[in-house]
Amino acid sequence: MDLDLSPEDIAFREAVRALIAATFPEGSPYDPKGDGDVRWHAALASRGWVAPKWPVQFGGPGWSPAQHFVWERETTRLGVPSHIGGMGMGMLAPILFAYGSEAQQRRFLPDILANTVRWCQGYSEPGAGSDLASLRTRAVLQGDHYVVDGEKVWTSGAHTADWMFCLTRTSDEPKRQDGITFLLVNMRAPGVQVSPIVSIDGRHMFNRVTFDGVRVPAENRIGREGEGWTVAKGLLTHERTGQAFVSLSLDLLRRIRLAAGEIPGSSGGLLIEDPGFAARLGLAEVELRALEITELRTLAEVEAGGAPGAQSSMLKLKGTDIVQRMTELFVECAGPYAAPWFPDVLGQPQTIGPDWARPEVIRYLEGRAASIAGGSDEVQRNIIAKHVLRL
């Protein structure tokens, strides 16, 4: 495996850096709450880079795995999103490529590419998370419409979404997976209700979504009736791919070093000199470097025509563990400055302490969910046990 970037990849890296610098010159960093996404989308569109992972025939740039690697590292390092378009771009589009009809592709893909519609994922239900096949949201075909009744939970971004890609039960087969159908539901349809669930970081990202007699045109079904499980499984592979968080952890490592080099430790010197802290940071770094090599090896295999398979579970499992440990170390750096960012403790966030402390506390809290979202750690271990260890 050749780990060095080729001259072409280095030229590509320079082009990525130039685009970011031209779009967000020094002093105007990417701001998701301002016009950051609009500017970034326009810049990406000007280069044909809006949908890095899409096949060329649907508007993707046709990058090699090495170019994807460079792209992810550089965008993370320079603080811009590696892709925009959310779940529509990263999760639904690959499903439309594989299972959507031409009419469905023509109808839904352009809006995803233009970043004008938001999608959410309606899989989990109360009692159907890891054991997704036990889902009960019912869809009954009446003429040319399905009538949908039931409830979804933990639906990220449902409150801002225009559409949901949704798993429904259309029949009660002996094998539960065979009675599931994949539907695209308009979130503005009568009978759809979204209620907020506020998470530990005080923010509203999750929702509970209920369906009460919601009418969904049969033409919004992806694949055949009862084929939803096959469609869903394909989608989950895309969800887990790229969840090693290596770029994020590398960036966290760099910034922890900077912060711990400014903060006093318990033994009189700086925190970075504290043997206990330094040992834990060093161990996390060694594991991160090993994960980075594993990710590179996986990329090389994919480049040679292989499929990642259970390796994506390994990358997610270890990547989640490391990113959580990095965020813990960062909160340790913040020490007492972490407290003001727990709204329940001190009310509104206070403006004391170093600037870097604030986002890191939120990231630490968010990071707890990474070992649940997209399949919990235990579920990933089950996959590895079955497909790698053949247990």
Ligand X SMILES: Cc1cc2nc3c(=O)[nH]c(=O)nc-3n(C[C@H](O)[C@H](O)[C@H](O)COP(=O)(O)OP(=O)(O)OC[C@H]3O[C@@H](n4cnc5c(N)ncnc54)[C@H](O)[C@@H]3O)c2cc1C
- DSSP 3-state of 364: helix
Backbone angles phi, psi at 336, to 5 degrees: -65, -20
Minimum Å distance from CB 207 to ligand X?
9
Count of residues binding ligand X (CB under 6 A)? 17
DSSP, res 272:
G
Nearer to ligand X, 67 or 155 (CB): 155
Residue reference for tokens 């759809």: 192
Which residue's Cβ lies closest to ligand X? 129
The residue among 192 and 278 lying less far from ligand X, judged by its C-beta, is 192
Least distance CB 334 / ligand X (angstroms): 22
Helices within 178-274 (DSSP H only) = 228-240, 246-260
| Comparison of 186 and 382: residue with beta carbon closer to ligand X | 382
CA distance 323 to 248: 8
Among 129, 234, 349, 353, binds ligand X (CB under 6 A): 129
- Residues between 153 and 192 with contacts to ligand X, criterion CB under 6 A: 154-156
Among 76, 121, 243, 312, binds ligand X (CB under 6 A): 121
Q: How far is CA 30 from CA 7, 36, 254, 322, in A?
A: 29, 5, 19, 26
Which CA distances in Å does 109 have to 40, 99, 105?
19, 13, 5
Decide if 239 is catalytic.
yes
Nearer to ligand X, 124 or 313 (CB): 124
Q: State which residue, 64 or 160, has the beta carbon closest to ligand X.
A: 160
Residue 193 within binding range of ligand X, rule CB under 6 A = no
Is residue 130 a contact residue for ligand X (CB under 6 A)?
yes
Query: Which one of 23-31, 152-160, 219-227, 322-330 is the stretch in contact with ligand X (CB under 6 A)?
Result: 152-160
Judged by CB under 6 A, does residue 373 bind ligand X? yes
Q: Examine residue 382 and tell whether it contacts ligand X (CB under 6 A).
A: yes
DSSP conformation class of 264: B
Give the nearer residue to ligand X in terms of CB position, either 259 or 379: 379
Q: Which residue in 45, 270, 372, 384 binds ligand X (CB under 6 A)? A: 372
From the list 318, 313, 248, the residue with the least C-alpha distance to 287 is 318
Find the catalytic residue in 125, 151, 239, 292.
239
Contact 214, 162 (CB under 8 A): no
- Interatomic CA distance for residues 277 and 269, integer angstroms: 12
Cα-Cα-Cα-Cα torsion 219, 225, 227, 231, nearest 10 degrees, comes to 20
CB of 275 to ligand X, least distance (A): 34
Q: Which two tokens stand for residue 243?
A: 């969840």
CB 14 within 8 A of CB 67: no
Whole-angstrom distance, CA of residue 322 vs CA of residue 315: 10
Rounded to a whole number of angstroms, the minimum distance from the CB of residue 360 to ligand X is 18
Per CB under 6 A, 312 contacts ligand X:
no
Site residues (vs ligand X, CB under 6 A): 120-124, 129-130, 154-156, 369, 372-373, 376, 378-379, 382
Active site residues: 239
